[in-house]
Amino acid sequence: MNEKLMNILTRSIIAGLPPKKKNLYQYIESLEDRLASQCETKEQFLNLLIQRSPFQQAANHFCMTVDETFRLMKKIENEINHELDKRIDKHKWIDYTEKVIKNQEKTKQKMKYFLFVT
């Protein structure tokens, strides 16, 4: 499935989470994204994750233990993945490029044509 569509579906799922889960998920994701933006290599990122522990920061912020935070985050990620799988199964991309290629030859435009069915 198209990566952009998957991102849209994922954001929609996250937006529909209960506030506590959504806030925790977005908090940790934003911390991890900030760390990733400071790194050039995977090793640098992993070192920063250890040094600055987004889970420890989230635990402190939300008055939870690190273990509770980790378990809840894994539960949230599993819920998101499960819901994403369900939504992907309900959708289908159909490539109509070949069927309309004659239009491209006439207009000399390089376009792709897809039908998105839900």
Residue 85 domain-assigned? Answer: yes
Residue 76 domain-assigned? Answer: yes
Q: How do residues 11-38 score in pLDDT, each as one tens digit?
A: 999 999 999 999 999 999 999 999 999 9
CB 30 within 8 A of CB 54: no
Q: How do residues 44-57 score in pLDDT, each as one tens digit?
A: 999 999 999 999 99
Residue 117 domain-assigned? Answer: no
Residue 20 domain-assigned? Answer: yes
43 Cβ contact partners less than 8 Å away, ≥ 6 residues apart? none
pLDDT at 93 over 80: no
> What is the reported pLDDT for 40?
95
> What is the reported pLDDT for 11?
96
Residue 23 domain-assigned? Answer: yes
If one counts the domains in the chain, the total is 1
Which range marks the domain in which residue 47 is found?
A: 3-91
pLDDT at 106 over 70: no
pTM for this predicted structure: 0.76
Rounded to the nearest 5°, which phi and psi values hold at 97? -55, -50
Residue 109 domain-assigned? Answer: no
Residue 98 domain-assigned? Answer: no
